[in-house]
Amino acid sequence: VSTPIAPSPVPTPGLAKRMKKSKQSLQVTKDLGRWKPADDLLLINAVLQTNDLTSVHLGVKFSCRFNLREIQERWYALLYDPIISKLACPAMRPLHPEAIAAIQSKVLFSKAEEQLLTKVGSTSQPTLDTFQELLHKHPEVFYPSRTPKALQLHWQLMKQYYLLDDQT
């Protein structure tokens, strides 16, 4: 009568590596379904504009609700995961120019942009020409797709919430 050999509690290195790889690929395929190319483009533009993932989480509306951790993970995956970046970049290329323009219009305002907008007085009645001049004077500060109308709308919001320099 032979005694059965008990299974080893420590998995072989090859098995552990396969299990880890399997988990990674499961995570990659799970993310592929939720993150659309438009979301990736919006995430990239918003982070480059604000340099703040928390602001992006709080201020950007994606195609579905992502928590802060998911946004952080996707940002780092786009930067450092060769599999994800190789899949995401070609998926963003065929986006229609109108879709890209719509995505760019959703990009948050940076602190530098808002700082310039606060200089426009709350008692003045600025026209689109005022904001066009602001865009012309500071092209390095404003996001390339900003329009005078977009600046005016954001300025009005800032005025409504008493965020301009001459308001208390």
Per-residue pLDDT tens for 117-164? Answer: 999 999 989 999 999 999 999 999 999 999 999 999 999 999 999 999
Coarse DSSP helix, strand, coil percentages of the chain, rounded to the nearest 5 percent? 65, 0, 35
Tokens representing residue 18 in the block: 């396969």
- Phi first, then psi, for residue 60 (nearest 5°) are -110, 135
Predicted TM-score (pTM) of this structure: 0.75
pLDDT of residue 168: 81
Over 50: is that where the pLDDT of 7 sits? Answer: no
Query: How does residue 3 score in pLDDT terms, banded at 50, 70 and 90?
Result: low
CB 78 within 8 A of CB 89: no
pLDDT of residue 20: 55
Helices (H), 53-160: 53-59, 68-80, 82-92, 97-105, 111-118, 128-137, 148-160
Per-residue pLDDT tens for 63-108? Answer: 999 999 999 999 999 999 999 999 999 999 999 999 999 999 999 9
Query: How does residue 30 score in pLDDT terms, banded at 50, 70 and 90?
Result: low
